C-alpha cells in the first residue's frame, strides 16, 4: 500500500512538472529564422528541399502533445505555431489559398494530427478563438499576401503578451493592410476585421474603438473625434512566397 501511494505521488509530481514545462518550439524557430524574411515572406521551395524532414519532425512532435492542461498562454502559443506550421506544410505539398476551391480545400480539408487529434486549419482557428483573444488574428498566417506577416521566430507562452501586442500594432499600422489617412472620407480596414467582427465587438463602432488603441496619436485623435465610416479592403490571396520560392510543380488552384 505504501509503495502504491509513493508511485501515485511520483506520477502526480511528474505530471505537474510536465504540464508546467513549456513545449520546445526550437526546430520551428530555426526554420522560421532561416526561411522567412523580415517582411514575413516564405522560402517555400527551400523548405521543401532542405527542411521538409525537420518540419515533419516538428509536426510529429506536436501530434504527440496534449496541451489542454497547460497554462493558457502556453496553449495559445502551441496552437498558433501549429496553425502556421500546418499551413507551410500544406503549401509545400502543393496547396494554396489563391482560388475559392483551393481555399476551401486548404482550410477545411487539409488535415494533420496535432495535439493527439486530427485537425484542419479551420479547426485550429476555432480553438484559438475560444480563448477570446482577438489578437490571435494577427498571428495566424494563411499563406497569403494580405495575411499578417509570418514572424521569424516561434510563438512562446512566456513572451506571448508582448509579442501579440507588437504584431497587432504592426498589422494595424501597416498601410498595405489598413488605410487610415487623416481627413479621408472613410478608413479602409483589413477584411479580417469584417470576417471576425464579433471578436472585435460586433459592430463598426466597436471595431473602430478597438483599432484606435493601436494607432499613432495623430490618427487616434482624428478617429476618436470624427468617427469616419469604415470600408474594407479587398483581400489579396496571392501566395506569400519570396521571389522564386513558389513550390516546384505549382499549387493546386
pLDDT per residue rounded down to tens, the chain (253 residues): 443 433 333 343 344 344 445 799 999 999 999 999 999 999 999 999 999 999 999 999 999 999 999 999 999 999 999 999 999 999 999 999 999 999 999 999 999 999 989 999 999 999 999 999 999 999 999 999 999 999 999 999 999 999 999 999 999 999 999 999 999 999 999 999 999 999 999 999 999 999 999 999 999 999 999 999 999 999 999 999 999 999 986 666 5
CA distance 14 to 32: 32
CA distance 165 to 167: 6
Buried b (16+ CB within 10 A) or exposed e, 96-109: bbbeeebbebbbee
Residues 6+ apart with CB under 8 A from 162: none
Residues 6+ apart with CB under 8 A from 112: 59, 63, 86, 89, 118, 119
What are the distances in angstroms from CA 160 to CA 36, 76, 104, 195?
Answer: 20, 8, 30, 24
Strands 187-189 and 230-232, sheet pairing = parallel
CA distance 29 to 70: 20
Amino acid at each position: 500500500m505504501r509503495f502504491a501511494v509513493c508511485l501515485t505521488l511520483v506520477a502526480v509530481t511528474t505530471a505537474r512538472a510536465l504540464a508546467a514545462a513549456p513545449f520546445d518550439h526550437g526546430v520551428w524557430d530555426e526554420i522560421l529564422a532561416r526561411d522567412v524574411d523580415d517582411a514575413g515572406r516564405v522560402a517555400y521551395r527551400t523548405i521543401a528541399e532542405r527542411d521538409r524532414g525537420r518540419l515533419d519532425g516538428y509536426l510529429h512532435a506536436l501530434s504527440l502533445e496534449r496541451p489542454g492542461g497547460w497554462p493558457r498562454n502556453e496553449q495559445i502559443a502551441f496552437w498558433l505555431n501549429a496553425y502556421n506550421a500546418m499551413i507551410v506544410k500544406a503549401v509545400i505539398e502543393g496547396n494554396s489559398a489563391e482560388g475559392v476551391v483551393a481555399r476551401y480545400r486548404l482550410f477545411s480539408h487539409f488535415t494533420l494530427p496535432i495535439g493527439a487529434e486530427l485537425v484542419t486549419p479551420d479547426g485550429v482557428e476555432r480553438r484559438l478563438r475560444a480563448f477570446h483573444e482577438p489578437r490571435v488574428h494577427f498571428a495566424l498566417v494563411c499563406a497569403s499576401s494580405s495575411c499578417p506577416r509570418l514572424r521569424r521566430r516561434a510563438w512562446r507562452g512566456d513572451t506571448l503578451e508582448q509579442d501579440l501586442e507588437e504584431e497587432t500594432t504592426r498589422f494595424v499600422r501597416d498601410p498595405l493592410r489598413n488605410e487610415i489617412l487623416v481627413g479621408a472620407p472613410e478608413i479602409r480596414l483589413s477584411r479580417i476585421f469584417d470576417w471576425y467582427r464579433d471578436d472585435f465587438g460586433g459592430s463598426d463602432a466597436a471595431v473602430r474603438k478597438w483599432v484606435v488603441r493601436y494607432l499613432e496619436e495623430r490618427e487616434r485623435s482624428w478617429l476618436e473625434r470624427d468617427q469616419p465610416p469604415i470600408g474594407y479592403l479587398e483581400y489579396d490571396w496571392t501566395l506569400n512566397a519570396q521571389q522564386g520560392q513558389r513550390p516546384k510543380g505549382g499549387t493546386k488552384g
